[in-house]
Structure 1
């Protein structure tokens, strides 16, 4: 994922940061318990806030249930909820975040939760380190809370591009390096990571700004990734809308998959090499599961590892060279581009037949590919395209969302 691969380093001008941090500690805007300042922001009179707190009342009329996602969970405690991300990054240890209903007092927590970041919800200002967050915020009608993005140029969504076009949205990592000063000066309610920590985040945390991990890419299933819309619903108080949106996506995905399950599998060649090594999806990867669900078969399908395999070109040509359909993960638009990368592709049966596909239908000028943005929330659209490739007879007249056949 493009934004998931951004690596960032701390900003400069330490003295300026000290001044900013001091100001934040005094104001504690939107943060509960991350600094010495008392508890709840915005005021209890704000929309979505508790106006007359009763400790016996359960303030979560809609409680989210997770069906597919396994890398985070949500628990409810009358006036606050706890989100726990099991793996905030590859090799990371579980992290918990305490989301307190606006207008409720700061909960007195013990044990591991005593040190967990606390923030008031619904939030009014979020910084996002990945374009994968944008479709969820847009689907929830919450783009207005987006006040910072890593890179404006990588965004595909027209609504989001309009939102970030002005100065009201801060761009804090346009070249891939986070600017801690910009983040701290903007005082967002929280920063959502791309599922990777960054040295700059230490400065952000010290400033009292909660840093929350979004690691949907570590989920094992397409619908598990899509269900992270509920993570953003917890932050924005849009639980009912998230449930309705996700249920529709999951239902459409299952309907498409059930249709493909009745067809005989179609042999395909997947992915492409980089510097002589092929990044080959296994049957245990999310992409592998979508190919299986779309009625495709390939030589590495029986490998249940959640990581891609790395065969060399000779192995791929031997095992999959006769496949008549080639589904790549590139931004190629023509067969000439493919051949320029590796002349030996001309030996592949799929190259000879002309059945080469790439998810390059929605790629912006900066190279931002919408399959890695919208496709994360909408696996139903991705698998629909894949079924139309592997079994065109099942999807006559299909209008492709992400994939195109190379010219």
Structure 2
């Protein structure tokens, strides 16, 4: 189980989410006896220690099942091409099950965790929305963080930076002994030494989800770790409802033609119709020349091929940190000026909020809040339906 864990200093929200009260209930359904940190004081094999059970509606890359005193969390694809990984999340103060049979090879973790190292900025808004940001004790690189709260914690020393040069400082992580280190959905060479040293490395691969709400539902992954299941249900229910309301708003509108993306290293990656970006464009009342392309990934083309098929697209959507005016796009490649959207000035970049180190909030908070991204896109593609909209992530390039 890695390093011993003491559930000290957890936020009050965690204890409340676990049903911990000072006096217990007033009938035979009273909350299980637990200390202020959510650990069971007197284990009863007949008690269900997970009164709030999470159900997944949109996420497809992980599953959650329940026993009385532990959850089984399985990430189907921890990183591209990797085999499924199972984690047994045991309520602290209760016995760990035998890791045999279907649980053979699983990693056991006591929960609620009290310290978490994060390998991706996409984790940060989930922790913040759950009210458990205090469990965050490490980030891989502070340069990519946009959250002022997390930046302040890094600067104060409350949150450590453990891979500023993209290479994990194994000794630093081992010395800090976090309850878990949560990955960014890739397999870093530094993870195996950490596992061997007793650090529980848990895969988080929300980026492999193809739908916006599927990615956002990974808030329930962090809720399972932190004991904030009830809060996760509230958070995700609102995000999903707001997203669906926006999508319904433009359902009968004439689709606006969109040009998505830009060139990178001489190639233009166009999102396929079943991809995350493709879903956002469709749900915002837009369409694009490759919307019918099958698959969840992207199609790589050269600029001339994109021009041939999408030169007349009405709106150009990019995510370019350094672009604030049309001249920046033209400087990057003079051929961009051939697109109709460039000529009419209808070019938008999701770079409104950047961190001091260059991190982009679109890639951070946007993963947890696709409803806010969709609201921006609806206002861009159908401004008549969103008068006075205050943009969260996007801004129009200046002439």
**TM-score for both structures, normalised by structure 2:** 0.91
Aligned to 2:4: 28
Deviations 1:191-228 (CA, angstroms, capped at 9, x unpaired): 00000111111111111111100000001110000000
Question: Displacement, 1:112?
Answer: 4.6
- In structure 2, what is the Cα distance between the partners aligned to 1:169 and 1:226? 24
Identify the match of residue 199 of structure 1 among 189, 192, 204: 189
Alignment of 1:177-326 (within 5 A): 177-326=167-316
State the match for 2:389 in structure 1: 398
Report the secondary structure of 1:153's partner residue: helix
Residues 146 and 356 of structure 2 are in contact (CA less than 8 Å); yes or no, is this contact kept in structure 1?
no
Shifted more, 247-256 versus 97-106: the winner is 97-106
Contact residue 30 and residue 119 of structure 1 kept, 8 A: no
Gapped runs of 5+ residues in structure 2?
Answer: 8-33
User: Structure 1 residue 109: deviation in Å?
Assistant: 2.9
Structure 1 pair 162–365 and aligned structure 2 pair: CA distance change class (3 A): closer
Tell me the residue number matched to 1:162. Answer: 152
Pair 1:333 & 2:324 matched: yes
Shift of 1:159: 1.7
1:121 counterpart = 2:97: no
How far apart are 1:339 and its partner, in Å? 0.6
Counterpart check, 1:352 vs 2:359: no
Q: What is the CA-CA distance between 1:168 and the residue it aligns to?
A: 2.6
Q: CA deviation at 1:324?
A: 2.2
After TM superposition, the runs of 4+ consecutive aligned structure 1 residues lying more than 6 A away are none
Instruction: For 1:71 and 1:348, locate their aligned partners in 2 and report how far apart those are by CA, in whole Å.
Output: 37
Q: Distance in 2 between matches of 1:317 and 1:264?
A: 23
User: Which blocks of at least 5 consecutive residues in structure 1 are unaligned?
Assistant: 1-23, 32-43
CA distance in 2, matches of 1:113, 1:254: 37
**Structure 2 vs 1, CA of residues 402 and 129 (structure 1 numbering), >3 Å: closer, same or farther?**
same
Q: CA RMSD in A?
A: 1.4
1:384 corresponding residue in structure 2: 375
Give the alignment's TM-score, normalised by structure 1: 0.89
| Residue from 162, 166, 169 that aligns with 1:172 | 162
Q: Which deviations, in whole Å up to 9, do the C-alpha atoms of 1:364-405 show, x marking residues without a partner? A: 232201010000000000011011111111111111000000
- Secondary structure of 1:401's match? coil
CA distance in 1, matches of 2:302, 2:183: 33
Q: Contact 2:142–2:357 (CA<8 Å) still a contact in 1? A: no
Matched residue pairs, number? 371
| Contact kept in structure 2, 1:84 and 1:96, CA below 8 Å | yes
